[in-house]
Amino acid sequence: MRVLLVEDDDGVADALVEALRAHGHQPTRVSRGADALIAHRDADVVLLDLGLPDEDGLEVLRKLRKVDTQPVLVLTARGDERTVVRGLRLGADDYLVKPVRLAELLARMDAVVRRSAARSAAPDDIVRVSDVEIDLERRRVSVGGEEISLTTKEFELLAVLARRPGTAVSRQQLMDEVWGDAFVAVSRSLDVHLTGLRSKLRRPGLLTTIRGFGYRLGD
């Protein structure tokens, strides 16, 4: 795939470019945020450092998300929870803290590109994650071929996550889409319904909690 690497450290950039080429990718490296806002058009995925010389990488991410939906994987030394959460809320598809193992980076790149392709394809009324099948039109859910019964709110929460499989969805967004207003919805109600949903799905690990941010359905 065509990879845009936004990295100001020459040593890190050279090593990543060499590794990406060795694995069959076509990397292009820029060191400034301003250049990334131009070069991103020709890339399949963007690897974005946050410590850039001309502007903060989070601001670059915010600007990118205004004009494009292509996958962006933040690759940075900043691992504090506040920055990770902010990066995800601004639209990062994934977030990796340096130093990162090459095998993990390549796997994450494949995953975000695959999820992006799935989102851009024609919408499907039936979503399958592992052996869980979610029929969004008929409001039916089956696990291992056996239909399960969900409450209205449980299904609506699952549907919001199922429309974005593999993508982090914030608590605020869940409450806004299910209850109509994230500021009116009671956070405790979200927790109660998610607990019930997890119990009925009987698939530990299928619904992942992202600490300080929200939830993700599937890998």
* Tens of pLDDT, residues 58-112: 999 999 988 888 899 999 999 888 888 888 888 888 899 998 899 999 998 988 8
Cα separation of the two ends of the chain: 21
DSSP-assigned letters across all residues of 125-180: SEEEETTEEEETTTTEEEETTEEE---HHHHHHHHHHHTSTTS-EEHHHHHHHHHS
What is the average pLDDT across 4-28?
96
What is the average pLDDT across 137-153?
91
Query: In the predicted model, what is the mean pLDDT of the chain?
Result: 88
Three-class DSSP category at 219:
coil
pLDDT at 135: 92
**Confidence label for 186 from pLDDT (cuts 50, 70 and 90):** low
Radius of gyration for the alpha carbons in the chain, expressed in angstroms and rounded: 19
pLDDT at 138: 86
Structure tokens at 182: 């994230």
pLDDT at 204: 87
pLDDT at 181: 56
**Confidence label for 122 from pLDDT (cuts 50, 70 and 90):** very low
